[in-house]
Amino acid sequence: MSKLAIIGGKAVRDANKLWPRWPIHEERDVKLMADITRSDRWSYDGPHEWDFARAFAQNQDAKHGLCCANGTVAIQLALEALDIGAYDEVIVPGMTWQATAAAVLDVNAVPILTDVEPDTWCIDADAIEAAITKRTKAVIIVHLYGAMSDIARIRRICKKHGLYLIEDCAHQHGAFWKGKGVGSFGDIGCFSFQESKVLSSGEGGFNTTQNKRLFERLYSLRNCGRGWMDNMKHAVQSGNYRLTEWQAGMLMCGLKRLDRQTKLRDSNAQYLNKKLAKIPGILVMRRRKEITRASYFNFAFRLDWKQIPAKGLTNSHFCLSLVAELNGAWEPPYEPLNNCGLYKPHTKRRHKIDPNYWKQINPKRFKLPVCKDAHGKSGVAVHHHVLMGTKSDMDDIVNAVAKTVEHIDELKKAPKATLDKYRALVD
């Protein structure tokens, strides 16, 4: 292969060859938005909202489901529905979007940041057991990117210690474990419908549960405290965390495409993994045997620097080479929450409820070596829209990775200005 594109060589993929776009809409979506606008029914508990809530809950094999404002709120409502609050400890993975832990802060509980498995980046079950104390009330698992947590073992751990289990499924709409939808295994499941997610309404969230009492409590918490079916005898103190009819309409349109899109992403991801695994120094993410179908928020793999000897280089350099070769936004995975630019509990006075709590929520007190290695050294990730392409598109990815590995020493020659140029394209 020719020299790397980042130092002036010919790119693997022509810049005019575009990747599939995201989000996706069709003309029927536009028509439905117009119909909703003309209906004069725009707010909560409308027909489109409940049509979608029933359909999506059924899709994920949950008995009950309801919409809410966003994925962060979905986690907060789950915690409050389970009566988790001040000073309770909640175990969360150290590699996740900061909202998973921030929602714990928002109910005045203590996020216990826990390390992840090196080959899935999902929370490590051994680390969960080591983190349990008499103040632990719940575990939040995150089915991260295209992988899934060890649901069966973690459920056993929670049952053994009397802990609630919350599933953060923001990356896994339409995924199945032994034929059963994610979000149906924990006490409460939480989903996000933010623009970048595989099922999107721009913003939005969802809760699933198998328990009717929890469903009714979730309903009250997201609807200004009103009881289910306007039963004010069971009202609780809460706020407005609802969804609009427009968002629900967009979600129903997207749900009709979800099965086909998820199958395509999963097929392409498995194709990529098979090809990438043959490249020296490339480690694919582990797919648990129980996974019937994986959904993908990001596609990811790892670098084995023992097989790619390139002193002074990191995964960030490797990602920038792929940006140049493929004209796409390749990045390291999430920052560890103990050193994350957006997870800053001590920047908000509302969290300073007493000196001891202030100390407990300091993320710096946690050690997350696997998270640190994945973000700063070994991890490579890209948004799921690339998995919407053809097998030829997947071959471009394989060829770009192989080319970068083969010419890894050339990355050292890339001027800082060139690296900054490609970094700006990602940012």
CATH number at residue 195: 3.40.640.10
**Residue 102 counted as domain residue:** yes
**Residue 209 counted as domain residue:** yes
**Residue 151 counted as domain residue:** yes
For the chain, what is the largest distance between any 2 Cα atoms, rounded to a whole number of angstroms?
73
Is the peptide bond between 23 and the residue preceding it cis, with omega within 30 degrees of 0?
A: yes
> Mean pLDDT of all residues in the chain?
96
**Residue 342 counted as domain residue:** no
Each residue's pLDDT tens digit, 10-43? 999 998 999 999 999 999 999 999 999 999 999 9
**Residue 356 counted as domain residue:** no
Provide the terminal-to-terminal Cα distance of the chain, rounded to the nearest Å.
Answer: 28
Domain boundary residue, one of 185, 219, 253 = 253
Beta-carbon neighbour count of residue 210 at 10 Å? Answer: 17
Beta-carbon neighbour count of residue 246 at 10 Å? Answer: 17
Domain boundary residue, one of 229, 253, 277 = 253
Q: Is 237 in the same domain as 271? A: no
CATH number, domain at 396?
A: 3.90.1150.10
Q: Is 157 in the same domain as 46? A: yes
**Residue 274 counted as domain residue:** yes
Q: Is 31 in the same domain as 140? A: yes
Contact 168, 140 (CB under 8 A): yes
Each residue's pLDDT tens digit, 89-131? 999 999 999 999 999 999 999 999 999 999 999 999 999 999 9
Q: Is 145 in the same domain as 278? A: no
At 235 the pLDDT is 80
pLDDT band of 2, cuts 50, 70, 90: low
- Tokens 């001027």 correspond to 415
pLDDT band of 1, cuts 50, 70, 90: low
**Residue 362 counted as domain residue:** no
Could you list the residue range(s) of the whole structural domain that residue 193 is in?
A: 27-253
Q: Is 152 in the same domain as 70? A: yes
Domain boundary residue, one of 238, 253, 268 = 253
